Each structure stands twice: as C-alpha cells, then as structure tokens.
Amino acid sequence: MNAVARFWVVPVALAVWEIVTRRLADTDFPPPTTIVARMHELWFSGPVSRAFLTDDAVAGLLPSLGRMFGGWVLAAVLGVALGVLLGRSRTAAEYADPLIEFGRAVPPPLLLPLFLVLTRGGLAMQLATIAFGVVWPVLLNTIDGVGAVDRTYTDTATVFRLSRAQCLRMVVLPAAAPKIFAGLRLSLSLALILMVISELFGGTDGIGYQLLQAQRGFDGAGVWAAIALLGVLGYLVNSLFVLAERRLLGWHRQATS
C-alpha cells in the first residue's frame, strides 16, 4: 500500500499535463492521451501471437534492446575483470589511475567518428560506443569494492589454505558484490542513453532511428512517443535489476541488518 501511495503524483502530473497541453493546442507539445495513442499505433497494435507488437516494434525495440544489453554485458565483463586485477594490486591501480581518469573524462559521443572509422559502422560501432561509455562505473566500483575488502577475510582464507581462485570466488567477490552491483546499476541507465545516441548517429533501425525519422517528418506525437517509450523502458529495466540485486544480495542485507 505504501508503494502504491507513492505513485499518486503520477496521475496528478498527467492530468495537469493533459489540461495544459490541450489549452496550448501546440502540435509540438501534444497531450499524454495523444502520445499514448501514437505509441499504441506505432508499437503495440500488433497481433496477439506477437504480444501485440507491430512490425515497427519488432524492427525497432528488439534490436535496440539487443544493442543495449550487448554493450552493457561486454562492459560488465571487462569492468569486473580489470577491476578485480587492479583492486588486488595497489601498485597496478596507481599506474592505471591516470589512464582511467583520462578515459572516463572523454565524452563517449565524441568518439563516435573514431569508432565509425575503426569498425566501419554498423553493430560493432554501436556496441563499442555503449561499452566504452558504461565500463567506467563498473570498473571504478569494482576497484573500490575489491580494494576495500576487510583484511581479516583474506587472512582467514589464508589460514584455511584456500587457493587464490577460491579466495577470489568465495571471499573477495562476495565482499565486493554490493559495490559492483551499484556500478552495474548505474551503467545500465547509461547504456540506454548511449544506445539512443549511437542509433541517432549511424543507425538504420532501433528506437533512436525511429525518433530521428519522426523528427524529420515533423511528427511531434511520434517524437514524444519515442521519448516516453525510452522512459518506460528505463524504469522497467531498472526495476528488474533492483529485484535481481535484492535476490542475489539478500544475504548481504541480512548480515548488515
């Protein structure tokens, strides 16, 4: 009931939005009912056998989600692997710190022309852009989490004669998991943003590409429909990640409560 009560602001905001936009009668700022109708027309008026997804939805939503999660998974693997290596070696972390700070300071959209030249466009360019932009939160949180593991834990692992692999799997990674998951959650929202940017720049399909086509066609409702769809997707993806995090890190919540 408390969770439901917190959402009272949503219908109020939508009602105010509806009233104001109808009074303005501006095609660039359509009311929510018009946006929802356009979303239904574009993406959710398909057959039941396809979960009501239209041809545009299959050609746009699914490739976009595939790129987003593909780049995110790639960045997660690289970020956690490098973060563990650097977090376990203070000397290596100190040498790598200037490179990390330089890399994370470079805006990923500025590297789109470089990735376009290196990969000749297409899926490889989009994955490279997403992975480069989202790897830094994962990497930095992993380094911080691994480096902050209580020495008592590692000393206990040594007493029980655990191998390095066993110590890493059974002691270091579980202890650093909360910070690693925090980095993964932050990088997931960045992956959604960079997915759209990469599709705007050099895409031939996807939500970003459909957004660009709606803008070029002066389809105000279509532009807002794509923006609303991205917001809904971001909320759903984040909610599912939080549920998975709570399930996987339930032991940590119990230990700290």
SS (H, E, C) 70-92: HHHHHHHHHHHHHHHHHHCCHHH
Is pLDDT at 233 greater than 60 in this prediction?
Answer: yes
What is the structure's pLDDT at 242? 92
pLDDT at 78 over 90: yes
Which range has the top average pLDDT, 24-28, 135-139, 216-220, 242-246? 135-139
Measured between alpha carbons, how far is residue 56 from residues 32, 45, 101 in Å? Answer: 21, 10, 40
pLDDT band at 254 (very low <50, low <70, confident <90, very high): low
Helix (H, G, I), strand (E, B) or coil at 199: helix
Identify the CA nearest to 140 among candidates 192, 176, 193, 190: 176
Tell me the pLDDT band of 256, cut-offs 50, 70 and 90: low
Instruction: Quickly count helices (H) and strands (E) in the chain.
Output: 13, 0
Q: What is the mean pLDDT of residues 179-188?
A: 94
Report the 10 Å Cβ neighbour count for 28: 11
pLDDT digits over 19-39, tens only?
999 998 888 899 999 999 999
**pLDDT at residue 60, as a whole number:** 83
List the structure tokens of 33.
């009912």
Q: Which residue type is seen at 82?
A: L
Looking at residue 123, its pLDDT comes to 86
CA 121 – CA 113 distance, rounded (Å): 9
Taking only Cα atoms into account, the Rg of the chain, rounded to an integer number of angstroms, comes to 22
* Per-residue pLDDT band at 229 (split at 50, 70, 90): very high
